[in-house]
Amino acid sequence: MTSITVILQLICPDRPGLVSAIAGWVAKNDGNIRHADHHTDEGAGLFLSRIEWDLQGFSMPRQSIGSAVNKLADRLGGQAQLNFSDEYPRVAIFVSKQSHCLLDLLWRVRSGEIQMKVPLIISNHLDLSYITRDFDVDFQHIPVNSHNKLESEKIILNTLLDHRIELIVLAKYMQVLSPGFLKKFPLIINIHHSFLPAFKGAQPYHQAWNRGVKLIGATAHYVTEELDDGPIIEQTTLQVSHRDEVDDLIRKGRDTERIALARALRLHLRRQVMVYSGRTAVFA
């Protein structure tokens, strides 16, 4: 059985002695450090740290670690997030008509590759409802158009609340969420079918083919109000040639989309991603 670990992510103003201060705090409480990753952004003047240690043997009770971490962060003038490796967030997957990313994620969850629970799938179409029956997941069909968008988003938010959802994954959900929605539910990961920042918006494979590119890619990123411009978590690429037509790019691109989204989710769920100043540090 895998032992439970404690994961601390901390961002604070950079100064000498921070690695010693953080690692020393863990050691003082008899923590056995498994992983320690640090990064200094000189331009931003920030220090980023991710430390993971065994819960077993740690002298502090699990329920007391959070308040102690907050005190540590206050002392260092920073912000901290605390998580435990046995926590499986409740995730809602949003889809439209394309099934490849949805099937891939559900299979990885079932096989234990990705540590999350998927109690809910939301779609603006009925096409993929048959898949959710095979995986025993609640499928909610909530149509969206230009006339009912705000009302539909209210229904979606209530559905998320009913299912106690902590994270949304847009697995080829071909709708743009409104700024109002993002303010109420900001933690969303999207897969975009291009190597951002190239070819934002609709039909990126057509754009890529028209430009005669030799590489195509996919980008998994956090969602912000700026379309396809959120902090990037993971990117994958694939070589193409002049012999490839648009349909070939789309077919090959689906492979990059599956891989990028799965990797991004795994990184996020393992708390290996830290967001700051509109960008990410990924401790892979």
DSSP of 174-202, one letter per residue?
-SPPPHHHHHHS--EEEEESSSTTSS-SS
Residue 40 burial by CB count (10 A; 0-12/13-18/19+): exposed, middle or buried? middle
Q: Which residues contact 199 (CB under 8 A, 6 or more apart)?
A: 207, 208
What pLDDT sits at residue 50?
A: 98
166 shares a domain with 61? no
pLDDT tens track, the chain, 284 positions:
579 999 999 999 999 999 999 999 999 999 999 999 999 999 999 999 999 999 999 999 999 999 999 999 999 999 999 999 999 999 999 999 999 999 999 999 999 999 999 999 999 999 999 998 889 999 999 999 888 999 999 999 999 999 999 999 999 999 999 999 999 999 999 998 775 555 666 676 677 667 777 778 899 999 999 888 899 999 998 888 788 888 887 888 899 999 999 999 999 999 999 999 999 999 99
- pTM for the model: 0.91
76 shares a domain with 103? no
Candidate list 30, 41, 127, 228, residue with the active-site label = 228
113 shares a domain with 77? no
Q: What is the CATH number of the domain that holds 67?
A: 3.30.70.260
What pLDDT sits at residue 204?
A: 67
b/e code 103-124 from CB counts within 10 Å (16+ = b)? bbbbebbeeeebbbebebbbbb
113 shares a domain with 52? no
244 shares a domain with 203? yes
Tell me which amino acid residue 95 is.
V
DSSP of 40-99, one letter per residue?
EETTTTEEEEEEEEESTT-SS-HHHHHHHHHHHHHHHT-EEEEEETT---EEEEEESS--
Contact between 6 and 15 under an 8 Å Cβ cutoff? The reply is no
Q: What is the CATH number of the domain that holds 193?
A: 3.40.50.170
Contact between 123 and 175 under an 8 Å Cβ cutoff? The reply is no
105 shares a domain with 57? no
96 shares a domain with 198? yes
Instruction: Name residue, tokens 């990705």.
Output: 114
277 shares a domain with 170? yes
38 shares a domain with 163? no
User: How many domains is the chain built from?
Assistant: 2
Q: Which residues on neighbouring strands pair with residue 117, listed in sequence order? A: 90
DSSP of 4-47, one letter per residue?
PEEEEEEEEE--TTHHHHHHHHHHHTT--EEEEEEEEETTTTEE
277 shares a domain with 140? yes
Domain boundary among 84, 115, 130: 84
Domain boundary among 60, 84, 108: 84
Domain boundary among 23, 55, 84: 84
238 shares a domain with 112? yes
223 shares a domain with 105? yes
Q: Which residue range forms the structural domain that includes residue 34?
A: 5-84
Q: Is 228 a catalytic residue?
A: yes
